[in-house]
Structure 1
Amino acid sequence: MQNDSDRFFVLTGGPGSGKTTLIQALGHAGFATSVEAGRGIIRDQSAIGGPALPWHDRALFAELMLSWEMRSCQIALEQTGRPVFFDRGVPDTLGYLRLSGLPIPEHAHAAAERFRYHRRVFVAPLWPEIFAQDKERRQTLDEAERTHHALVGVYTELGYEMVPLPLAPVEARLRFVLAETGLA
């Protein structure tokens, strides 16, 4: 996977900071993208009455997120030679566990070392003006800020360089990401 990491770009940050909107814009621009694990798992688990919800069983929710993110990397490998933009990555699971005060299992550390991304990771800073809660995003603004710091800490510890996204409309963020990745 080492050869592919240079074309795997991660967008991370706290909830409600505009990551998914930017991922959607990248998809509309013709780039391969991944789907955010958290919302997908919440939707799936809610639909079946499952227990792996962050407000019921945070550890089980984290396991499903880890599995989802690893599978997203496997799918991205099939996009031979094409850049892929990820709406979060494997290290986000470690950040979630840290934020939740749960131990980070050894297999989660191993996954973060095995499934690598481009060394420069885009981070969406806390943006109170666009933050909103909904039935899937129940976090408060304070928890969003703590999530941001936990994620930045984990990615930095794993050797990634954090590239803050500008607090700007999605079109400007899109131009920024494409310029920073050399894909403009």
Structure 2
Amino acid sequence: MSERFILLTGCSGGGKSTLLDALGEAGFATVPEPGRRIVAEEMAGDGRALPWVDMKAFAGRAVAMARADLEAACHLDGTVFFDRGLVDAAVALAHAGGPSVRETLGDARAYAEQVLVVPPWPEIFAGDAERRHGFDAAVAEHERITGALDDLGYRVLEVPRVPVPERVAFVLLACGADQE
């Protein structure tokens, strides 16, 4: 576990990727969401592991990709922000009928103890070709993730529903990353 690995998670469509892009523009190392990368790969390929085709296969790929992302991040300097990650993938896999979150993750914590959670924000939620579920499903996913974070002993800090520059300032202050 690395205290410099900051997990940004929460509700689908809540602005995580936009926030991550802004953190990257501010010079921080960032790791994009595994799910979006998998969907892009699957749409270009045979599509067997798309979440709306085979959620268990999709989540299994997300677990593997998130583990690879963590390994690769060990070679980066400073604070690293992750858009979703291993916890999210383990929650999705358990929800799809795979092993429990604890079985997938074991006892080791992969990220800093404090996790930044983007809450449901209906005013900005939008579906697209890669996000085919509705807001209610996104809220249910959010609840599963925050429940798992609590069970795993992470401290959840909710990111306020404010414009992106204010979110960036909040995140950097919360993580102490503004000192880098």
The interval holding the TM-score normalised by the smaller chain is: over 0.9
* Residues 55-82 of structure 1 deviation map (CA, whole Å, 9 limit, x = unaligned): 11111101100011001101110014x1
Q: Is the 8 A contact 1:23 1:87 kept in 2?
A: yes
User: What 5-or-longer segments of structure 2 have no aligned partner?
Assistant: none
Q: Helix, strand or coil for the counterpart of 1:173? A: helix
* TM-score normalised over the length of structure 1: 0.91
Task: Kindly indicate whether residue 68 of structure 2 is the aligned counterpart of residue 74 of structure 1.
Answer: no
Work out the number of aligned pairs and report it.
177
Q: Helix, strand or coil for the counterpart of 1:163? A: strand
Q: Is the 8 A contact 2:60 2:93 kept in 1?
A: no
Distance 1:158 1:145 in 2: 20
Distance 1:134 1:60 in 2: 21
User: What 5-or-longer segments of structure 1 have no aligned partner?
Assistant: none
Q: 1:124 aligns with which of 107, 118, 122?
A: 118
Aligned to 1:138: 132
CA-based RMSD of the aligned residues comes to: 1.4
Q: 2:168 aligns with which of 167, 174, 177?
A: 174
Displacement of 1:115? 5.4
Displacement of 1:107? 5.2
* Residues 14-54 of structure 1 deviation map (CA, whole Å, 9 limit, x = unaligned): 21000000000000000000010111100101101230111
Distance 1:25 1:150 in 2: 27
Q: 2:91 aligns with which of 95, 98, 104?
A: 95
* Residues 91-130 of structure 1 deviation map (CA, whole Å, 9 limit, x = unaligned): 1012213444x232575133xx345110000000000000
Task: Kindly indicate whether residue 156 of structure 2 is the aligned counterpart of residue 159 of structure 1.
Answer: no
The one-letter code of the counterpart of 1:9 is I
Distance 1:155 1:115 in 2: 10
Q: Is the 8 A contact 1:99 1:146 kept in 2?
A: no
Q: 1:26 aligns with which of 23, 26, 29?
A: 23
Q: Helix, strand or coil for the counterpart of 1:9? A: strand
Q: 1:16 aligns with which of 4, 13, 19?
A: 13
* TM-score normalised over the length of structure 2: 0.93
Percent identical among aligned pairs is: 40
